[in-house]
Structure 1
Amino acid sequence: MNNKALTALTLGLLVAGSASAQKLQDLPEYSIPQSQTTKHMNILAADEMLGRKPGEQGNLMAGRYIAEQFRALGLKPANGSYFQKVPLETVIPPREGTITTTEGSAKIGTDFVLMQGSGLEGSFETVHLPYAWIDKDKGYDDYKGVDVKGKVIITSVGVPDSEAPNQLFASIEDKQKLAKERGAVAIIEVFNSPRPWNMVVRYFGRPSTKMKTAASSGEEITHLWISSTSAKILVANKISKVNLEIGARKVKDVLTYNVAAVLEGSDPQLKDEYLILSAHYDHVGHGAAAGNVSAGDTVFNGARDNAFGTVAVLTAAEAFTKVKPKRSILFIAYTAEEMGLLGSRYYAEHPLVPLNKTVFNMNCDGAGYNDMTKITIIGLDRTGVKEEFDTATRAFGLTAMDDPAPEQNLFDRSDNVSLAAKGIPAPTYSPGFNAFDAEINTYYHQAADNPDNIDHSYLLKYAQSYTYAARLIANRAQAPAWISGDKYEQAYNKLFAK
């Protein structure tokens, strides 16, 4: 190639690059000032919000603030209201309770815990079953030929052929239902899992908040977990009678809401598909019950976790109302993430837009940051949009990196997993971190996590790059999909009938 041709080509590339850059700079996410993201942060993570714990006034105030931002932007309520009530309840376990047999006795709060049901007193016959489980597909039935009416079932936690920790908990309601249908008065599961028993006691032996279900009516039978050590008083010689003196638990409703709004897309065909842009806005509250308070500071403001992500969703909402993307967007701020992903779990079962029309969820969450040159994307390579993430982060001088701690299973520990389990591609967009080091732990779930010690210029870049990535994905000709072999690919194929 001669010099004249080379010069012309170079000039052409420069002109094309300049035009592309100019077009990019014209996007509204570039014009949102730092003062705007700082304002959102200072309000959401203010002391007046009292740590935004569900069931407390600060959580309701934060939810109202988010809804007012949606309303001011002209976004439509998702279902006649910006608020989706999430029915939760706080359960306060009884302080008194014993299990007594001829082999000895066990005490509630140390030897056993009440998982479901109310108090129960009396002497009962027992029946011993391997798992108190039925699996019709596998031809498995512990109840076949066994009369459990009026008796206490003694069994093992979990289900046959599964050691997964989540299965121990997932089977509780089903076991409860099976036992109740057959007339049992109680079920006692022996906790023979290798997981530490003291963790079970710490979690279930204190007040806890959970989803309120049909089984929460107080009519469920008494359901206990007992440690494998203490269970000797039950399983030795297959004890045939047991005396129960279990006090009643107290149940209190928790008032809290997901906050959601919809923006219709600009493309006549693609607007029938939705992206969900999400972040949880709750945190752990205030006072000693929330954690280790420091002198003069008792409010756990949750600036990093997760006012950071909520600000990004609000920034995207503002930018997209100025220049609409092709696909429609559901903006949603989840409640009760800190209580076990309860807000997103409720949404996944009660969606405001059809799940089979929801092609992507870009969730915002994180424990904090220790590298302000990066954005950490949990699931960067799993949903086929790495190019969009790379482009969006580079535009703001940042680098997209994948999960630095895969052993922590972070993908399945935030609100994204509630929709991922339904089949929807759903990574989490997190502030940049290379490891869970001292810098992260200084602020993670600590009273020190305040707006005045975050980097507000980095917050702006985080929110802008999140918005730009969402725009690129919303404008794709082809909807994202799980990469081949991903553990959620089968659910995706089922949801979208692939």
Structure 2
Amino acid sequence: MRVFTTISLGLLLTSSVMAQDFPEFKVQQSQTSKHMNILAADEMMGRKPGTPGNLMAARYIAEQFRALGLKPANGDSYYQPVPLETTIPPSVGVISTTEGTAKIGTDFVLMQGGAIKGEYEVVHLPYAWVDKEKGYDDFKGVDVKGKVIITSVGVPGEEAPNQLFASVDDKQKIAKEKGAVAIIEVFNSPRPWTMIQRFFGRPSTKLKTSGGAQGEVPHLWISSTAAKILVANKISKVNLEVGARQSKDIATYNVAGILEGSDPKLKSEYLILSAHYDHVGYGAAAGQVTPQDTIFNGARDNAFGTVAVLTAAESFTKVKPKRSIIFVAYTAEEMGLLGSRYYAENPLVPLEKTVFNMNCDGAGYNDVSRITIIGLDRTGVKEEFQKATKAFGLTAMDDPAPEQNLFDRSDNVSLAAKGIPAPTYSPGFTAFDAEINKFYHQAADNPDNIDHSYLLKYAQSYTYAARLIANRAQAPAWIAGDKYEAAYKKLYGK
């Protein structure tokens, strides 16, 4: 028994020494602090897409990748252009029926599409949705040509906020293919209508479609209160008068570099290590300001995560992991996960070769002894997360606020929805308390008030966890029954 214990202790010590030989164990605080102080500097002006500060931050990240010798992920470039457009909603808009009138801005918003004017027959459908795999088709036996579709927001069986918005493009496309002239969705979600008014009733930014608004079917959302003028058994026609939106293009980029793995076989599989580098900008339009500070530096959200990805890139170029790595800094997360959504539809490496995404994001921290991993138990790599955090004196904990649906509110969900196992590695928080709210999307979120020693441990543990996962014999997978398991099986042909 004594011999077994001695041998075990020797193996444990050997393992510990080998682990601490990895470069991430030797990272200096001066290095992580340098990245933080540059990315969240006042000169970056809040890194909002469409501003010089956002482009400067992208350039800084790209030059770090270049200096480390990473291969450009987009041909000969580290930049993946993400086509965005800012639209200004029309000032004129009315929906009229025999039951009353609804006004744009107050009662309804134009989500997408161009102007429309005229009186049209209406067709009421449950969701105006088609899902061939599930055998669901609201249009079966229904003629909508030349008519206005009135339906419910979202898709059947999905209530997550991101699904309400994610379905807009598809529903508009289906309506156009079926010959409808417009689609009106009744916003019967439990979420407040005022949120929709604020976001879509003012200038907003989204991914630019190839065809633009001209020729696209007008897609409207109307509040459940105002929708009483559209009751199915009382109206047969609707009069629409909705003006056109104005728009302008925005130049912004995802930044991505590739490191080939060391294992002859496993290097054909890729991990994506990601974080968004954008933030909300500066001035009163970005949020509450003070005479002393009008810049939203975004140190915690999300220079923190970007520093972790840069730390991993430097460590991995010194000692390669077995699998290949795509390092991606996303833009436009704060505008609705737009950078990651674009990447998921336009991947720089085929998605079926991408076996895992370890995303970095968070609202801040209130416990520097922990790392919060959103999805800790969902992808079969809990052991690796626990080992990596413990190595730096930290504890891995799961989502403390599952009711917030945080998993589906960060960039990881763009790839998770495609089937790729994709948790989010967040700074430690135990609740959305005053400490979190003090800095979240506030001008006070500056590099000079973060815990730089904790930033170092966060970046080191993230890097070590990524290494352990990249070196696994088997690629990660969603646990049985996970809501993304079906997409996983489809993507990988399981």
CA 248–44 in structure 1, closer or farther in 2 if over 3 Å, else same: same
One-letter amino acid of the counterpart of residue 352, structure 1:
L
One-letter amino acid of the counterpart of residue 425, structure 2:
Y
Provide the rounded CA distance (Å) in 1 between the counterparts of 2:42 and 2:371. Answer: 28
1:220-249 CA distances to partner (integer Å, 9 max, x unpaired)?
122222223323334386344544332221
Q: Aligned to 2:222, which of 216, 223, 226?
A: 226
Corresponding residue for 1:45?
40
Provide the rounded CA distance (Å) in 1 between the counterparts of 2:109 and 2:466. Answer: 45
Offset at residue 90 of structure 1 (A):
1.1
Provide the rounded CA distance (Å) in 1 between the counterparts of 2:215 and 2:418. Answer: 30
**What TM-score, normalized by structure 2, do the two folds share?**
0.93
CA 310–106 in structure 1, closer or farther in 2 if over 3 Å, else same: same
One-letter amino acid of the counterpart of residue 277, structure 2:
Y
Offset at residue 176 of structure 1 (A):
2.6
CA 124–472 in structure 1, closer or farther in 2 if over 3 Å, else same: same
Offset at residue 118 of structure 1 (A):
2.1
Note if 1:144 corresponds to 2:141.
yes
Gap regions ≥5 residues in structure 1: none
Q: Aligned to 1:303, which of 296, 299, 304?
A: 299
Offset at residue 133 of structure 1 (A):
2.6
CA 193–215 in structure 1, closer or farther in 2 if over 3 Å, else same: farther
Provide the rounded CA distance (Å) in 2 between the counterparts of 1:18 and 1:172. Answer: 56
Q: Aligned to 2:122, which of 112, 118, 127?
A: 127
Q: Aligned to 1:360, which of 330, 337, 356?
A: 356
Corresponding residue for 2:316?
320
Moved more, 443-452 or 486-495: 486-495
Corresponding residue for 2:74?
79
Which has more radius of gyration?
Answer: 1
Provide the rounded CA distance (Å) in 1 between the counterparts of 2:382 and 2:233. Answer: 60
Note if 1:489 corresponds to 2:485.
yes
Q: Aligned to 2:249, which of 246, 250, 253?
A: 253
3-state SS, counterpart of residue 185 of structure 2: strand
Provide the rounded CA distance (Å) in 1 between the counterparts of 2:304 and 2:460. Answer: 12
CA 235–379 in structure 1, closer or farther in 2 if over 3 Å, else same: closer
Provide the rounded CA distance (Å) in 2 between the counterparts of 1:181 and 1:361. Answer: 34
Note if 1:466 corresponds to 2:462.
yes
Note if 1:376 corresponds to 2:356.
no
Moved more, 324-333 or 104-113: 104-113
Check whether the contact 1:127–1:148 (CA below 8 A) recurs between aligned residues: no
Provide the rounded CA distance (Å) in 2 between the counterparts of 1:73 and 1:136. Answer: 45
Q: CA RMSD in A?
A: 2.3
1:86-105 map, 5 Å:
86-105=82-101
Q: Aligned to 1:334, which of 327, 330, 338?
A: 330
Percent identity at matched positions?
Answer: 76
Moved more, 224-233 or 129-138: 129-138
Check whether the contact 2:130–2:139 (CA below 8 A) recurs between aligned residues: no
Gap regions ≥5 residues in structure 2: none
**What TM-score, normalized by structure 1, do the two folds share?**
0.92
Number of residue pairs matched by the alignment: 491
Offset at residue 260 of structure 1 (A):
0.4
1:51-73 CA distances to partner (integer Å, 9 max, x unpaired)?
11111111111010000000001
Moved more, 379-388 or 435-444: 379-388
Moved more, 36-45 or 341-350: 341-350
Provide the rounded CA distance (Å) in 2 between the counterparts of 1:189 and 1:489. Answer: 29
Moved more, 420-429 or 253-262: 420-429
Provide the rounded CA distance (Å) in 2 between the counterparts of 1:39 and 1:458. Answer: 14
Offset at residue 363 of structure 1 (A):
0.9
Q: Aligned to 2:475, which of 476, 479, 482?
A: 479
Check whether the contact 1:134–1:143 (CA below 8 A) recurs between aligned residues: no
Corresponding residue for 2:344?
348
Corresponding residue for 1:455?
451
Corresponding residue for 2:176?
180
Moved more, 88-97 or 241-250: 241-250
Offset at residue 105 of structure 1 (A):
2.6
CA 131–484 in structure 1, closer or farther in 2 if over 3 Å, else same: closer
CA 309–111 in structure 1, closer or farther in 2 if over 3 Å, else same: same
Moved more, 38-47 or 48-57: 48-57
One-letter amino acid of the counterpart of residue 25, structure 2:
Y
One-letter amino acid of the counterpart of residue 415, structure 2:
L
1:171-222 CA distances to partner (integer Å, 9 max, x unpaired)?
4334433443454433333334443222221221111111112352421122
Note if 1:22 corresponds to 2:13.
no
Offset at residue 11 of structure 1 (A):
5.7
